[in-house]
Structure 1
């Protein structure tokens, strides 16, 4: 295919999938796959070389030919073909696009005769009935349990809004990043918050330490640590933390790298923040999505001139944050049980920093975070109006689709002229920063990092400051 023809094809594909609604349209996907053709695969997650070892390690138990694999929303991915060629022949592929199922059936019917292809919506009842009746399908998924050495479920609750929510304490086989470097010979204990609706996604994760001590963790045994996710989880029934351990969430640490990334973006308005702090003023900060309350608690304890308000839709989540993660309110930290979009729209005063950190309850949107409503142009315009003149807007964006990411960024560029991005290396999170004014701190200047470091003088742990500064150095303009 010539360069010009390829460029035209790519533009046609982009036009078909330009909005979130387009991704749920069967007609659009039929047109998309007609344009793309059966020999131009569209991979959502990763290429086979990146997935091969992980999948083979977790699936290779017993006879490969007996393993039942269901691939919902298969599209024209080559994943099923690669698995089949490795010996997994009992594979059923489903997609609601008749075009792509027809193409893939023609492509594979001779070389892979045992593989099945069905035109079907993955959400239809007959699929779920088949799964529950036969009870013989091995479901392939990447869950929050990957790489866990020990685990104890602390609490479970079912919310009318969120569904089942789990609080658990875990010890990972291996911990990367600053914490792993700080305690290389220790087993670190983390408390996590997960939602069943997005089981593979850890909503919140905090480091547990002895109360009043930053360095007390559980000693490791003699087992060699293995890279997280490199083999099947071996979850122990032995309690990780008992009632007499005295461990509690340390709000001086941000265990999630994207939380550190969010804070690193404060560098973009560090001159403004420094002026406010030196004059004895306060910076109005709103966090949409409380989760376990770890980010608001860190901001409250580490940057004392911030006036933090969190908006959380589900009261059950607020109760868990208070009861199991040490979330506490005072005159500088408040939580409101309300819809985040309504909270921003009803704000009577300007906001200096607005952070959207919510997951999406709708998997069909193609985004894990945030919910689609938070990237609609109407909400983005509301945000711009609600921000102060030198305000900062932050979104935690999680999607494996580059088309969706590009669409979100394009929408934001319509409303905000200054956009920046932090792509996290270890996962699919991308933190997007938008400024309400043309002026901002020069991110290429060493002074920018010095200003950010001054703002973080009250951070409890020096390694946390280093992590935030390191993240700030990776922020790029869009």
Structure 2
């Protein structure tokens, strides 16, 4: 069935159409064209732009799904229509075994040479009629740039709550070292299809020592998780919050007690593993999707062990149950069931491609949930939350709701323009710890950047 060009004469909010056409430079190839209209109604002067899909990444969720297109469109404020053009792929295609960034510019690649000029008539035909009232319009060509040098998908699966997800090993660009040489950095990432341009979890990986040579790259050698360092932007700041209660934690250790943490939201488990391995915590992690926990164990080095307890279930319901029944504990065998947590760390977000990402979830900031969380904390405990504010009003309400339940609030700016860490205390803090002779604080400073500790400010 032929596609009627008149279909594109008006902007139709949320309309998504994709089709294929013969490649103008190669008779044996076809191009995939996707047209997405913004779900946000536009004025009489729509803004239209085009983007060419990087060669080799045609099957990436960012470029091959409607949710990926939406994230690209929302990345350009006030955009009314986005047109994507790339090499044709089929729904059943597997991801390429290994992706390597082409040496040539993205606008000069196989099958799409001189694509701006060759595709200009097509782009004009896909523009709304109102764009021509002042003559033939110029269609800006957007570029997609990220730090990905190479990558390979090592696992795909479907979670009952999060939907489709994938795990990929990647090499990323890094700043040159002190000797002027380019530093190679390898990471393992977890992504969800519902928000394909968002990295849910990222950890360092190192070449498997079973390989004689470690000079190879992605697809050439095997890699293992490196659990000694936190590289996801907000995780080290979350851990830095422990400096506020370092004397309390050190006192626990001196009495022969392991400090304990409750982590709501597990993801790849990097935070949980770091707390246990690097800081000696006993950790309880709660996640509602059992497939996420399975992936964390199989791909990200998370282990269910003596001092690492993993729970499949709703995080908020778990806290509520724990706070209402002092005699209930999921790991009560021979343990002090009345012992409360030194820290509760929350990494729960509301992820929707149309409304964006916000954290924590609205359900968590309800008064009954905050009061329940306070009840499971010890006298000197703290609540630590990864926060993403979609608006100023969200931030103001968040602070007001927490001030209504907890003694004091502190925050740490992550530095990426998106996240900050909110810290709520059960008891007043005498002062912000900047230096301390206790062994826990010294250990903390040795495993995370001290700059995060020094940047803690009271709200």
Indicate the TM-score class for this superposition, using the shorter chain for normalisation.
Answer: 0.5 to 0.7
1:218/1:170 CA distance change after superposition, 3 Å: farther
Q: Deviations over 1:210-245 (max 9, x none)?
A: 3579xx9657xxxxxxxxxxxxxxxxxxx7145xx3
1:439/1:206 CA distance change after superposition, 3 Å: same
TM superposition shift of 1:427: 3.7
Match of 1:408 in 2: 398
Cα separation, 2, equivalents of 1:212 and 1:408: 47
- What is the TM-score when the length of structure 1 is the normalising length? 0.61
Cα separation, 2, equivalents of 1:378 and 1:372: 12
The answer (yes or no) to whether the contact 2:386–2:422 under 8 Å persists in 1 is yes
1:190/1:424 CA distance change after superposition, 3 Å: same
Of Structure 1 and Structure 2, the greater strand share is in: 2
Match of 2:378 in 1: 388
TM superposition shift of 1:327: 1.3
TM superposition shift of 1:455: 3.6
Match of 1:422 in 2: 412
TM superposition shift of 1:399: 2.8
Larger displacement relative to structure 2 (259-268 or 324-333): 324-333
Query: SS of the counterpart of 2:343?
Result: strand
Any residues of structure 2 matched to 1:184-199 within 5 Å, and which? 185-199=182-196
Match of 2:124 in 1: none
Matching of residue 456 in structure 1 with residue 453 in structure 2: no
Match of 2:271 in 1: 295
Cα separation, 2, equivalents of 1:406 and 1:446: 31
Matching of residue 331 in structure 1 with residue 287 in structure 2: no
Cα separation, 2, equivalents of 1:141 and 1:322: 37
Match of 1:320 in 2: 295
Gaps of 5+ in 2: 1-32, 51-75, 83-128, 134-138, 327-337
Cα separation, 2, equivalents of 1:246 and 1:187: 15
Matching of residue 446 in structure 1 with residue 422 in structure 2: no
Any residues of structure 2 matched to 1:172-321 within 5 Å, and which? 172-174=172-174, 185-211=182-208, 240-242=218-220, 245-304=221-280, 306-321=281-296
Match of 1:70 in 2: 37
1:338/1:300 CA distance change after superposition, 3 Å: same
Query: SS of the counterpart of 2:401?
Result: helix
Greater relative CO, 1 or 2 (CA 8 Å, sep 6+)? 1
Query: SS of the counterpart of 2:282?
Result: strand
TM superposition shift of 1:162: 1.0
Query: SS of the counterpart of 2:161?
Result: coil
Cα separation, 1, equivalents of 2:347 and 2:258: 22
TM superposition shift of 1:170: 1.0
Q: How many residues align?
A: 332
Query: Computing the radius of gyration over CA atoms, which structure comes out larger, 1 or 2?
Result: 2
1:310/1:375 CA distance change after superposition, 3 Å: same
The answer (yes or no) to whether the contact 1:276–1:282 under 8 Å persists in 2 is yes
Cα separation, 2, equivalents of 1:384 and 1:363: 32
Cα separation, 2, equivalents of 1:379 and 1:138: 48
The answer (yes or no) to whether the contact 1:262–1:394 under 8 Å persists in 2 is yes
Q: Deviations over 1:170-205 (max 9, x none)?
A: 1113369xxx78996321110001111122221110
The answer (yes or no) to whether the contact 1:189–1:218 under 8 Å persists in 2 is no
Larger displacement relative to structure 2 (347-356 or 268-277): 347-356
Match of 2:98 in 1: none
- What is the TM-score when the length of structure 2 is the normalising length? 0.64
Q: Deviations over 1:50-69 (max 9, x none)?
A: xxxxxxxxxxxxxxxx9966
Any residues of structure 2 matched to 1:12-91 within 5 Å, and which? 70-73=37-40
1:329/1:67 CA distance change after superposition, 3 Å: closer
1:170/1:405 CA distance change after superposition, 3 Å: same
Query: SS of the counterpart of 1:456?
Result: helix
Of Structure 1 and Structure 2, the greater helix share is in: 1
Query: SS of the counterpart of 1:446?
Result: coil
Cα separation, 1, equivalents of 2:149 and 2:184: 10
TM superposition shift of 1:416: 1.2
Cα separation, 1, equivalents of 2:214 and 2:365: 40
1:91/1:318 CA distance change after superposition, 3 Å: closer
TM superposition shift of 1:358: 2.1
TM superposition shift of 1:271: 1.1
Match of 1:29 in 2: none
Cα separation, 2, equivalents of 1:183 and 1:314: 44
Cα separation, 1, equivalents of 2:402 and 2:142: 35
